[in-house]
Structure 1
Amino acid sequence: MAAVTRLGMLGLAAAATLAACGPIPRADAERVCASRFQPTRALSGTVKAGVSNGNLSQGYELDFQPGVDFGDPNAGYTACVQRKSGEYPSRPLYQIGG
């Protein structure tokens, strides 16, 4: 009897794991994929240097966001939504804005 219960629990765990791999709602997939395919600024920053009352002041700030080229962003977005939800997006990426 214990072997049957153990086997049943294993089957239940396997079913739960497979259910987690299933599609997600289209709206959720659109939100996740839109954030992934929005354009990013690659590199920006400021540098300052100066002298005040005989003291040297300096500083810098650098903002680096590596951009990945996915080719056509709308094609990547559409494929991402299809892969995650099993459905086409309700609207193209360029209509989402951001």
Structure 2
Amino acid sequence: MRWTVLILGLAACTPVMLSPEQAAEVCEDQARAAQGPTGSVTIGANSGGSTFTDVAIGVSSDFLTGRDPMDVYEQCVYARSGQAPIRFPDLR
């Protein structure tokens, strides 16, 4: 019984590895955030004549520390898949 609990406990701590392609998709967002601040502005009006605005700004710690977005991407893919990237990131 004790071994079963130990094995199940260790299995729960094992990270789920993604395929390199899945990791690339996730890590592209992280690399884009390392390029600079992200954000959006929403301006609108409703039928009652009221106007509204919404502003969102995001800054990643990778950007603040000056990390190269390609390094961020490569390290992220390796950490999530255990393999080197299989393609270049789309950082647009």
**TM-score normalised by the chain length of structure 1:** 0.60
SS of residue matched to 1:87? coil
Is 1:26 the counterpart of 2:20? The answer is yes
**Structure with higher RCO (Cα < 8 A, 6+ apart):** 2
- Deviation above 6 Å: which 4+ runs of structure 1? none
Q: Which runs of 5+ in 1 are unaligned?
A: 1-5, 49-56
The answer to whether the Cα contact below 8 Å between 1:37 and 1:76 also exists between their aligned partners in 2 is yes
Question: Structure 1 residues 15, 47: CA separation in 2 closer, same or farther (over 3 Å shift)?
Answer: closer
| Aligned residue type for 2:56 | F
Is 1:91 the counterpart of 2:87? The answer is yes
Cα distance in structure 2, aligned partners of 1:13 and 1:29: 26
SS of residue matched to 2:23? helix
Alignment counterpart, residue 17 of structure 1, candidates 7, 12, 16: 12
Offset at residue 47 of structure 1 (A): 7.7
Q: Report sequence identity in percent.
A: 16
Per the alignment, residue 53 of structure 1 pairs with none
The answer to whether the Cα contact below 8 Å between 2:20 and 2:85 also exists between their aligned partners in 1 is yes
Aligned residues: 82
